Structure 1
Amino acid sequence: MIFACDLDQTLIYSRRSMGPVEESELVPVEKYEGEDLSYMTRTAYMRLRELSREIDFVPTTTRIYEQYARIHGLADGISIRYAIVSNGGRVLIDGRTDEQWDGLIREAVRAGAASGDEAMALFRRLADASWVLKERYCDELFHAVVVERDRIPHGWMDELASELSGMGWNCSLQGRKVYLVPDPVSKGAAVRYVKELTGASFVFAAGDSLLDESMLRMADEAMAPGHGELFRSYGSGNDGAIRFSRRSGIMAAEEILNAAAACNKTEVAG
């Protein structure tokens, strides 16, 4: 079984996003410039360590490799052979880029989407520069734009999504970042590729944002925390393909890991 799991606000949490939790229950899992940035609960961390010995745990993140590598907690007692970074743009095998996937995805972007410059030009035309703080072109595949979220007008993201769709791109708002991503670069496509590599017959996937939806839709079982873009979009009228945790914040990770472990037991028994 493959357990493909988003990281930020699904498995690991900043202090801003974690919600109420006892300080003694926190395990730091990411450090940057000497400061702890992200955490898991002790229960979730121990469950992940156990689970990673039984299944293929595949971290699946929009972070680029350098940001992913900061998460030291994933290197301590957790077994990871495959990882997906750059929103599916790169597949790592034993920490190294899989060149076959790299070639396939870049050719797909060239053939199926407008250029990164064109997508960013559209964003700048629609956005107000006063609430755009910083831009980054990640892995020469997608854009991450830091914004003052509270100043984005109501309905603006829908307008951006509509305009981008005609260019073979999509968008997502996560925290303070707007992501612009070409359609061929998706977590779902990358997870499907890893599934073929491993020969796995079952995928359990978890994630909180619209950028996770493609992998949740292709999974055999899919779960999202009771917060985030997916919960806001589908939580009140879910179509049944994605189930949501009862808890939100950092405690949702424990519920997701318990569900993944239960699926694994069912698969083994079956």
Structure 2
Amino acid sequence: MKLLEEYKNIKGIKKIRKADNIFAYIVVDNTFDLKYIESFINKIKDFNWETYINGTKIYFLPQELKKSTAIKYICDKFGYKNTFAIGDSIMDKDMLDFCRSSYLLRHGDLVNSLSKENKYIISRECGFRGSEEVLKYIISYK
């Protein structure tokens, strides 16, 4: 992620972080404009990396690091067919789409970006109560 270093002085970028040399993210403020890093986003697409915007953080991850990839690996290895997923952010969308039964917590940012037609079961409650609601639903699943 040395490519990111050339962007460290861009207006609105507060921090650039690398996580165990596996992925990277930047922390931005409200003065940041995504157009400042469009060329970087386009460059990393050529290497099968994806960009996720989640509030004041912008994540850059290799496609192999997606949650759905890990779940598919486990399902293939152990022969699981019935999968459940609980998520709340745009970074969870691929996992939610992959799993047979997907639950979305109302408090997350993904709820606001969905069309009315989606396959997710959305919690009625927010926060811990929403998590508890979804877990009870999964435990009672037959």
Question: TM tier, shorter chain?
Answer: 0.7 to 0.9
The letter of the residue matching 2:26 is: V
The answer as to whether partners of 2:89 and 2:110 remain within 8 angstroms in 1 is: yes
Alignment of 1:258-269 (within 5 A): 258-263=136-141, 266=142
| Equivalent AA in structure 1 for residue 13 of structure 2 | V
Match of 1:231 among 103, 108, 111: 111
Q: Which runs of 5+ in 2 are unaligned?
A: none
Give the structure-1-normalised TM-score: 0.45
Confirm or deny: 8 A CA contact 1:172 1:209 kept in the other structure.
Answer: no
Conserved? CA contact 1:204–1:219, under 8 Å: yes
In structure 1, the residue matched to 2:82 is: 202
Alignment partner, residue 243 of structure 1: 121
Structure 1 gap segments, 5+ residues each: 1-115
Distance change (3 Å), C-alpha of 1:138 and 1:162: closer
Aligned residue-pair number? 139
Q: Which amino acid aligns with 2:23?
A: F
**Matched residue, 1:129:** 10
For the residue of structure 1 that corresponds to 2:132, the secondary structure is: helix
2:130 is aligned, of 246, 252, 263, to 252
Contact 2:104-2:120 within 8 A present in 1 as well: yes
User: Per-residue deviation at 1:196?
Assistant: 2.4
- 1:147 maps to 28
Q: Given that residues 13 and 32 in structure 2 are in contact (C-alpha distance below 8 angstroms), is that contact kept between their aligned partners in structure 1?
A: no
Of 53, 71, 84, which aligns to 1:191?
71
Query: Which residue matches 1:117?
Result: 2
Shift of 1:121: 5.9
RMSD, matched Cα: 2.7
Deviation, structure 1 residue 166: 4.7
User: Moved runs in structure 1, 4+ residues, more than 6 A?
Assistant: none
> SS of the counterpart of 1:239?
coil
Shift of 1:204: 0.4
Indicate the larger mover: 240-249 or 179-188: 240-249
1:218 and 1:142 mapped to 2: Cα distance?
Answer: 22
Q: RCO higher in 1 or 2 (8 Å CA, sep ≥ 6)?
A: 1
Structure 1 residue 260, shift from structure 2 partner: 1.6
TM-score if structure 2 supplies the norm length? 0.79
How far is 1:258 from its partner? 1.7
Cα distance in 1, alignment partners of residues 5 and 117 from structure 2: 35
How far apart are the structure 2 equivalents of 1:151 and 1:141? Answer: 28
